[in-house]
Structure 1
Amino acid sequence: MDAPEIHILSVGTALPGPPVDNATLARQLGTHQQFEQWVDTFIGTRTRHLSVDLETGEVNHSLADLGTTAGGRALAAAGLEASDIDVIVMGTATPDALMPATVNLIADRLGIDGIPTYQLQSGCAGAVQALDVGREMLLTGRHTTALVIGGDVCAKHLDIDMDVSSMAPAQLVNVVLFGDGAGAAVLSTRPTPGSVTIKAVLNRLTGLGRAPGQVIEWFGLADRASDRPAGMEDYKAIEESVPVMAGEILKELLDTLGWQQADLDFLLPPQLSGRMTKRIVERLAVADAQEVSCVQDTGNNGNALVFFQLERALERMGPGDRAIAVAVESSKWIKAGFALEKV
């Protein structure tokens, strides 16, 4: 018996609060105009959404809050109820707590119970890993419908009273690069009008013997006394490696499916920052495919990004259209991606 095809029925997303532009962030951090220009030029991100009130420092959205909103929107868009979900898988680098798992808080709020739930600890590849696990669970034939969630809330790593004037670029980039958000998708063995088929998923660790490109500690800048940074970004290593890895991911997915670059209608490239995404797209050189990006406006909200891209892609894809998404995790160099075809 042939394995069933797995389809994405719908996507839902959630962002906390209004967009925060570079000028607002610069004013709040007490920096000069050159800082705003540096962000515009070096990072290329215009706005981000934060789960912390920049005036008071109060965290006003948890990952469970955003994941519940995104999951509820995905269910509503698919025309499904909580009781229709057979399994939930979540990918995140920033759970609200070590325990209980954030995925279970979201399930509780959505009214879901009595099913398997999984939470994967991962950076930007976590959303694809969650998609992969959800897909594999459905391929067993024991389940028909899965809710896949991805998101991150980095508010604990943003101290609004920090002194950024003496920060090295490796630390400063973490202040401006990231935002918060969550996304969710409903996967099913049963296609519906407008759904897309997952044709292939790539998920592979490639970091043997390589130093991490990113380290995020369990603590945040705002909740401990040590001056050890809560986050470290080797941006030069990321700039050198990610475009190369993105090309390798694209080629492997195309080769796996026997597709040519000319067969692609949409490209969902890695969303590190506006500037990095532009470099990657130029290197991939898939001239005939429409780029689907969002990071310039959402900020790098980690495991939510793929869902924001998917949401935009599903709105544009027509019958027979093909798309490939590429994601790279620099924490320990993970290649990830997937290919879609409109039913």
Structure 2
Amino acid sequence: MLQDMPTLTDVAKLAGVSEITVSRVVRNKGPIADATRTRVLSAIEKLGYVPNRAAGSLASSGSQLMGVLLPSLSNIVFPEVLRGIHSALASTGYQPLIGVTDYDLKTEQGIVSSLLAWQPAAIIMTGFDHTDATRRMLANSRVRVAELMDIDADPIDIAVGLSHRRAGFDAGRHLISRGYRRFGYVGHDWDADRRARLRYEGLCTALAEAGLTLEAEQRFAGPSSTIAGRDTLAAMMAKNPTIDVAVFSNDDMAVGGFFYCLTAGIAVKEKLALFGFNGLDIGQSLPMPLSTVRSNRFLIGKIAVEKLLESGERPTEKQIIDTGYEIVAGATA
């Protein structure tokens, strides 16, 4: 059930200041004591208050705006999602306002606050992890919300993506069916990438059902990259040279692992199988196309926009759209 949106008056009462003081803090105008500013900002966050910057301005056409929050534009996964979003918006008259969070929930919170101030028709976000303040702002608004890439939790309104836990499970079953028994895992930072951890959990479940466990695992304390994949696989192999398959958190890491094998003289597949996730073009362009799981990234972005534009009202029931995935046999596992 939608709540009444908190007002500037509500913030003033909670902070114990005048409405003019709240307005000055919101607009960052005029001298304000640090203690007063802290009280006002704390009240704003607690209430989920969002100022209306569209009121009385030409930006009142905000109903034709759609906020899009992505964690990264350097990771090729998300530009493909954005391409799907643009494709669906092309003939609608809606314009996207794009923000990049760098996988930081506080940064996301600030961007959501800024976007909601312009009263967009809808907001597209990535994943289910948000601060409590972000959730309050969205709950207080009338803005429709789509969360992309993941369907392993309850959405605010609409979720479009795939089950990463099931994808990890199916990848494990696929590799077990191919005769692999000595598994290693090469990953990156889970704090910034919940979906990678879900795939890891799915893989471990598949191994457990077959009476197996991971014999080795190594994670890089940072974002994924080809260099991180190369160096992290090297570290794992130095300690556990007998594994016969390395499962990577994604294709970026797996491509780096492939380059490590070339440098170290390890015969890919024959001595060490490699398996990724995402189905990126770079993985399929290797001398031996990467074995991986392909996600439907363009479709995720396109369907999200289509579902958001089906109605001008927030859905009365949560919707989950599973865009699925495909296991790509490739040549590396």
Q: Give the TM-score of the pair, scaled to structure 1.
A: 0.30
Q: Give the TM-score of the pair, scaled to structure 2.
A: 0.30
- Please state which structure has a larger fraction of its residues in helix: 2
Quick check: which has more Rg, 1 or 2? Answer: 2
